[in-house]
A and B are shown apart, each in its own frame.
Chain A
Amino acid sequence: MRNRSLWIGFLLALGLGLSIALTQQQEVDPYKEAERQRELFRQTAGILPGELYAAQGEELFGQKRGSKNVSLEACDFGLGPGKLEGALTQLPRYFADTRRVEDLETRIVSCMVNLQGFKPEEIKRDDVKALTAFVASKSSEMPINVVPKTSQEIAMYNLGRELWYHRAGDRDMNCAICHDSYAGGKVRLSPVRSPRQGLSNEWPAYRFEADKLYTLQDRIAFCYESVSIHPPDHYSEPMIALSIYMLTEATKGKNKFTELPGFTR
């Protein structure tokens, strides 16, 4: 009897030890973890944080604002004034009215300035982010379709490719050495994808680890920060150039956007 309980105790201890060893070996799959976190949000809040940002953006979009007291409903994102369905899929692109290549975020700022009469310094970054989330939500799960055609778009793509390979900073980094040469690997737990594999297809997204909405520009800035390079200003050429480069490559790889705004770590 005594022997038997000893045996049971021994087996229990062995099982406990094994299960501890197994949980230590097991690494969290970041995609599954994001999915789990997303479900928890659905259950407790009934709405995803990204959807809240988009709803906020929708309200801003329809409000009469700025010195000209008009809404953004006449803003042309490339498919005609007020056409939002699939607008993000073909951005960045060249706009004749501003005579520059613009991504979604830059285009929103242009419309706030030219249509609504805001001064650039009056524009709040949070408003642009919410508006970006709203307009992007109209391209959820659609195929990416960025194909540089005009000379300006091709030039911007070439600039982006050059920046992509530009090694600099104390960490001797560029984008390509991780996102091309070692695509498929992991930095800590983060899987690293190449543009052709669809890198950039989930932004704007809510990052639950940061509890913030990140646009593609925010994500590029975060990348530069993590390799100790001071990020370029929002709406500047490096931001637009890198965006058109990545999204053109994602188009070549026949990628779709994820649910937008995305939900990620």
Chain B
Amino acid sequence: MSTSSATSLVQLSHVTKSFEDGRDVVTDINIDIAQGSFVSLVGPSGCGKSTLLRMLAGLLQPTKGDILWLGSDHARPADLGFVFQDATLLPWASVSENVYLPLKLKEITREAAEPDIDAALERVGLGDAAAKLPHELSGGMAMRVSIARALVTEPPVLLMDEPFAALDELSREKLDDDLLTLWRELGWTVIFVTHSVYESVYLSERILVMGTDGDAAGKPGRIVADLPIDAPYPRGLAFRQCQSYFGHCRTVSSALRGETS
């Protein structure tokens, strides 16, 4: 395993999630995610990527197996950033009120939270949009607010569920770069779900390819490949255009198709 030397943040052993009717959504997942790493989960629709992410977030409980987090009680960290595919903002609340939400739910007063809110908005480049309402924002800006909200509690881990899938190519590349910058500055662990091979190769240190046995729908998803992306950071346009980038993309694609490379 590519990250075996680093401290692990979370270990999944034999994790299986079944529907109520007994069919498995994902089966026998065994992974070890290193602290501070950037890991992508790539796979076709319906392979259980989101289910796996939701189990990590504690929104779903595994039917079988264990999820052990770093720490004495192996429980999910109390602070955990989650970014959904859509920005998922409160439509009646301003940008700053939306970013304040996680702190508000911890009963931190607005006055005490103000510096954190400002800092989070600065980090995503929205310092001057604090008073705007969500309907006044573009898709990319709304997603930045969503990221600012996820990082305002300074979580050790950020879970992202196809966050930029609905954006245009340019906004997406810009957000990919900004996300990498934030990750390197803040030292958190990012677990990033995407169906884009290119995006996952560009962003990650490690790609977990998910798939099902055979083509038939309804088969449970599992990890079919665990691929390290050893290109150095910072990555930029040059990386997007270099041979090794395309080489990695080919490897991930063939793993997705179920071919052994």
Are these two chains actual partners, yes or no? no
**A residues bordering B, Cβ < 8 Å?**
none
Residues on B facing A (Cβ under 8 Å)? none
